Every structure is written in structure tokens, then in C-alpha cells.
A and B are shown apart, each in its own frame.
Chain A
């Protein structure tokens, strides 16, 4: 087990290394006068910073040397300075992480809480009206463009009915504190999370359903019934324990999707999180921030995969590393 984790960890580091090369070479494609262009209109950028940036992207040295310079700093957690915020990228990521994590975390939990029971229900009632309805809703959710759905919801709930705020994180006119602040935050998060969950839950739901169907057709489920176990126990114990195995792998694979979703949702609802900053960074040409952001996600994804691999061994006794 220990050996396996170490091996996986080493592979993850290798992959992360590959990610950094990929990202760096994309960033490398900027033209030579890029730094001059981007800094020319910005009075906040000092000559010293310009120098730093030229160095960071190997514009002065060569791409290879530049990469290693960048890498040696990156390993120490230094991804350079953001143009827009004039602060180290790492600091910005840490500062703006909470809303993103809250959004993605709540969405993830809700998605699982919806996908697992509904997926199991649909599988148990295969070919019934319930099943068709659930699957149809799932496909609808998958096919809904997030931005369009967000607009429709905003139009209905914020503009039309006026019961929910249209965007932002807190009501700027009010000065809430304590529990009232929390309630205000919650009100602002209702629509983003609804959009996030409804457009995201479909694929997981179908995944759970497919796997549950497979398990329900397995011989050991029939054995459990032949023992005289009540249906509740057959499903809840024997079948569920087996679907847990693919679900665990699913959780590890959710992370990239969650961040893609977070970027869009934050942008749509003007939530001050990592994704929104990333969007603004695109327009401002803030490449250091984008690099840091992507590396951060890649690392998180690899961590997620690692954790789900370990969990896999916990849930499935057949797997022994």
C-alpha cells in the first residue's frame, strides 16, 4: 500500500512536470514585444517589474533556460507577480480561494447527494416513467448552456420575481454582520449553485445509473434475494456497497469539471473568486496569474485522483497494491 502511494505520487509529480512544460510553452508563444505592449499603458508597473517579467518568460535568455528559472521559483511557490493586482500570484490565489472552494464544494456535495439517490432510483425502476423522467432531466441538464441557463434564471428570479439578487456576493447597500451576513451570502449563492448543480449533475447521474444497473444484474444480488433478504437490504447493502466502487473513482475525476464550472459561474454571477479573476486576467493579459491558476488546479486534480485511488483500495477488497 505504502509503496503504491509512493509510486503514484512520483507519477503525479512527473505529470505535473509535464503540465508545467505544456503551460510554459503556451505562455512562451507570446511575441517578443509582449511585455512592452502590456506594460505601456499601465502606470503601476515599474521598470523593475518589467525586467522581472522578461526574465520570467525567458524573453531575455532562451526558452529552456527561462523554463528552468521559472520552474525553480515555482517549486518554491513563487509564480511571479500578477500584473493586475501587483501582488504575488500565490498570495492572490490564497486570498480568493474561499468563495471558489465554497461554490465548488457545495456544488460537489449537492451533485453527489442528488446523483447517487436518483441514479439508484432510476436504475431500480428501469424502463418505468420515473426512470425516463430522471434520465430525460439529466440529458436536459447536460445539454443546457450554463450561461444561457443562468440568464434565464436571473431573468425569472432576479428581474421577473425579484426574490433573489442578480449577482455579486453581498448586498453592497447593506452592512450586515454575523448571521445576517451569512444569510445574505447564502441568498447570493442560491442562483449560482442552482446553475452549477443543474448543469453539472446530469453526467454523474447517468454514471451512477449505468453502474447501478450493472450491479443489479449481477449474480450476487440475486443470491442476496435468494437468501430472503428484504429488498431494502438487497439494494442498500449488497448493491450499494458495490456501486460505491465506481462512485469513488468518480469523485476524484470531478475536480477539473468543478473548476471549469466555477470559472463560468463566477463570471456569470460576479462572484469574487479565482475563476472570475482568471476571466479578468484574460482581458488584462495577466499571464502569470493564469499560469499559477492552472498549475494550482492541475495539482489539485492530481491530488484528487490520488485520493480516489487510495479510497478505491479501501472500498474494494479485491484491490491490493
Chain B
């Protein structure tokens, strides 16, 4: 009997998904969308990107995975934002949503806005609604991305020069071949590659660290306003990691771009970020300045994360680890997702998901422990 009910459920899911896919193919694949559909206004003109209640869902055969479910935060101009959380918490999906690079039609943006402050035209665009043509102009030009796996992000059959120049000449059609090549060499120099004939090399002829530098150069080549770095150092070994981080930090000062740094490495965030966003199971549990998050963590999950990182000058027998596992992303419970792993949960935690509470102007947390502190903390 249970089998039959299950089958019925699966059929219902399939039908539901099919409707979503149809809708996706109708709306999202449109090449040109009238401007009025995606023009919006920024809440704060000093922000480069504003995420507003972003929801990105994956419609799978066994149910809807709410990979990102109601994420709201801003990236101010020229600042670096660190997004942290364990694997599968929705960090990468958030970044892919900005670029609209989700694997459709399974993965799609189900709601919310991503407002982008386009400086070249002085417009504010809602990236979730822009047409493909518009996105192509933005990708790699105004928002660029650095991926995790340098070994596979470069196309193995084209030379470094091909791939780098392709990007530059695509977004600067007025540049001649010579100028493009010069620009390519210049960006390579910026990331510390001054090798003769590098443009004629194939990716497999370079080491992992060198390849990641090339990827970074590619991201920088068109002077973007926002660089999304999705775990840029995870796949590299420790010494190379340090080099790449140094490079990123130098670049951060040199260029006038915002950086959205996605990582699960708290050390990297502490070094680089101005603001930190902590995500758990598709939602933001806490956000604030780096100082607030690192020195005054408020959410039990953040506290756990801080405790679980190795520290110098303190002797512990064994590193702290947060008990339990991330909940199943399908059919998430009504209550706080962290409840079952939380060491300090209270009766109220059985209620519905706690709302985001502002502790200070920048520091926000979503936890019942702080619900009553709102009044003393500052404005909502």
C-alpha cells in the first residue's frame, strides 16, 4: 500500500516538474526581453548587487530541492563579501544564479530579485528576468567568475591565448588583434605570469596554480565590477593556495571591483572579507561585518563553526565538531533547520522558522535566542 502512495506521489512530482519545465522553456530561454520587464531600482545606489528574497529551486524526480530559499543580502561597491557554509548549503547556487548559469530546466530561479547596478549604462537590472542577450553582455564583462577546479575550467583543446583573447575581443569588438593580445599579456602580468610564449601554451602544459592564475586573468580581463570567486583555492595545494590568496588580496586593492568570495574555509574569509554571510541549508543564518561574525558570533551554527576551526596558542585534545548532519534538502522541516543539531535550542525552536533579527545595523541573525534582543539591538 505504501508503495502505491509513493508511486502516486512520484507521479504528482513529475507532473508538477513538467509544468515548471514548460514554463522555463517559455520564459527563461527568451533571447530578448523588453527593457521594462527587467529594469528596477536599487535600494541603495552604493550597492553593486542586491539579493532580494532569492529562491533557486531544483525540480528533481524525487521532489523539489530548495537549494536557495529566501536569501537577502547586499554587496556594496568595492567591498569583499565572504559567503561561508558547509557543502550543499547553497553558496555556489547563489553565485550561479547571478550569472544565470544554472542547469536548466531542472534548476531555475523560482522567485525574488537580483538587482544589478550596471555602471556603464547607469541602469539597475533585475538579473533574474533579463534576456539571454542581455546576460551575455554582462557575463565575463561586468560580472565575471572564477571557478573552483582550475584543472577543468580551461578548455583543453584551445591555447591560453585563444581563450583569453576570445573573452577580450568579445566584449571589446572595437579592439584590433594586436591590442587584444597586448591586453591579454597585460592581465597575465597582473596575475604574475610573465612567461615568454604563454599565449601559445595549452592548459595541460601549465601547473594547477598557473592555470588558476590564467582563470583569474580571464576574469579580470574586461575590468569587471563584480568578481565571483567560487572556492578559488579549494582544489589547490596549501602553498599554492597562499600564493593565490595573496594575489587576490593584492588585486582587490588594485582594481575597483567588488568580490563575492565563496568558501568553506573560514581562514580565507577572515583574511579577505569585509562582510560575511553565513548560510545553512539554503538560508542565511547570520550576516555581519567580518569583525562581528568572527568576534561576536550570535547564531549557534556560527559559534559551532568558529569552535571547529584550529587555533594557534590554544591547546585542545580534539577539534570541536558540530554533531549530526545537514537535513535532507527535500521536504525540509517547518522549524529551524538547525534545531536538531543545536546544543542550545529552546522551546520556541519547535515553532516556525525564526525571522532575521538585527542585532546592530549590519549584524543580523535568524535565531530564537536573539528574538527578544531586537529592541535593544537597533532598528529592524
Contacts and interface: CB of A to CB of B under 8 A. Distances in A.
* Direct A–B contact present (CB less than 8 angstroms): yes
Interface of A: 218-220, 222-231, 238, 241-242, 245, 315-318
Contact of B218 (A227, A231, A316): A227
B141 interface: yes
Interface in B187-244: 202, 204, 215, 218
B147 A242 contact: no
B74 to A, nearest CB: 22
Contacts of A222: 101, 147, 153
Which of B132, B155, B215 has the largest count of A CB atoms less than 10 A from its CB?
B155
A317 B205 CA distance: 10
A318 B140 contact: no
B99 interface: yes
B140 A226 contact: yes
Contact of A229 (B99, B136, B144, B154): B136
Which of A223, A229, A242 has the largest count of B CB atoms less than 10 A from its CB?
A223
Contacts of A242: 155-157
B156 A226 contact: no
A65 B141 CA distance: 75
Contact of A318 (B135, B138, B202): B202
Interface string B319-341: 00000000000000000000000
Interface string B136-175: 1111110011010100111111100000001100110000
7 contacts: A219-B152, A220-B152, A227-B140, A231-B132, A238-B155, A317-B156, A318-B202
B148 to A, nearest CB: 9
B229 to A, nearest CB: 12
Interface in B98-134: 99, 101, 132
Given A227-B144, A227-B166, 11 more contacts: A226-B145, A227-B140, A227-B218, A228-B138, A229-B140, A229-B170, A241-B155, A242-B157, A315-B157, A317-B202, A318-B204
Contact of B154 (A220, A230, A316): A220
Given A220-B154, A238-B155, A227 B147 contact: no
Given A226-B99, A226-B144, A317-B202, A219 B153 contact: yes
Nearest to A220: B155
Given A219-B152, A317-B156, A317-B204, A230 B136 contact: yes
A223 B154 contact: yes
The 7 closest A-B pairs by CB, nearest first: A228-B139, A228-B140, A227-B140, A219-B152, A220-B155, A317-B202, A227-B167
Interface of B: 99, 101, 132, 135-141, 144-145, 147, 149, 152-158, 166-167, 170-171, 202, 204, 215, 218
Contacts of A228: 135-141, 167, 170-171
A224 B147 CA distance: 12
B84 to A, nearest CB: 22
B201 to A, nearest CB: 10
A242 B158 CA distance: 10
A225 B139 contact: yes
Contacts of B171: 228
Contacts of A224: 155
B259 to A, nearest CB: 16
B155 A226 contact: no
A192 to B, nearest CB: 38
Contacts of B140: 226-229
Nearest to B103: A217
A219 B147 contact: yes
A315 B153 CA distance: 19
B69 to A, nearest CB: 23
Contacts of B136: 228-230
Contacts of B132: 231
Contacts of A223: 147, 153-155, 215, 218
B101 A225 contact: yes
A241 B166 CA distance: 15
Nearest to B144: A226
Nearest to A217: B103
A220 B139 CA distance: 15
Which of A220, A230, A241 has the largest count of B CB atoms less than 10 A from its CB?
A220
Nearest to B142: A228
A318 B202 CA distance: 8
Nearest to B215: A223
B205 to A, nearest CB: 9
A223 B158 CA distance: 13
A302 B145 CA distance: 46
